Structure 1
C-alpha cells in the first residue's frame, strides 16, 4: 500500500514539474489588468466626479481580492488632526476585463494608509 501511495505522489509531482509547475498554476487572478492599470482607471474615474476635490489621487491604496482590484483614495486632511483618517473613496475594478464594478465612499470602513 505504501508503494502505491509513493508512486501516485511521485507521478503527481513529476507531471506538475514537467508541465512547468504545479497542475493548477495557470489559474491566476491577474490575467487581465495590472495594478498600475487599475490605478489609472480609478484616477480617471475620480477626475470625473464632483467630490474629487476631497480625495488625494496621488496616494491610492490598492488591495486585490477575488478577481477585483479595490483602489482606495484617502481624503485630504486639511482641517483634521493627522491621526484621524477620513472615509476613503473606493473604486472596484474587475481584474479580468478592467471594467468598474462599483464605486462609493466607505463610511465606517477602516483602510490603513
Structure 2
C-alpha cells in the first residue's frame, strides 16, 4: 500500500467519525486544475461543485485559482443551504493549494 493511499484511508476513516450528518467538502487537484465538491453521503448526491476549469474563471496562477474555487464552493453551498461541512482533503497534505482552498471557503462562510 502506497504512502498516499494509507494517508487517504486514514483521513477518510477519521472524517467519517466526525461526520455528524454534515455533508463533506472534498478536494481533487491535478497538475493544472483544482476541483471541489460538497457531497451528501447519506443521499449519495453532489450538492454543489466548483472547479478551475469553469468558463467564468480567468486563468491565474494555481494558488489564486484555488482561492477562487474556495470562494465559489462556499457561495454555492451556502446558497443551497449548507453552511456546515466537514473537510475531506483526501490523500493530499493540508498545505499549498488545498490549504488555500480550505481557508478561502472558511472566509466565504463555510464552517468546518
TM value normalised by structure 1: 0.29
Q: Which has the larger radius of gyration?
A: 1
TM value normalised by structure 2: 0.29
In proportion to residue count, which structure has more helix? 2
| Greater RCO, 1 or 2 (C-alpha within 8 Å, sep 6+) | 2
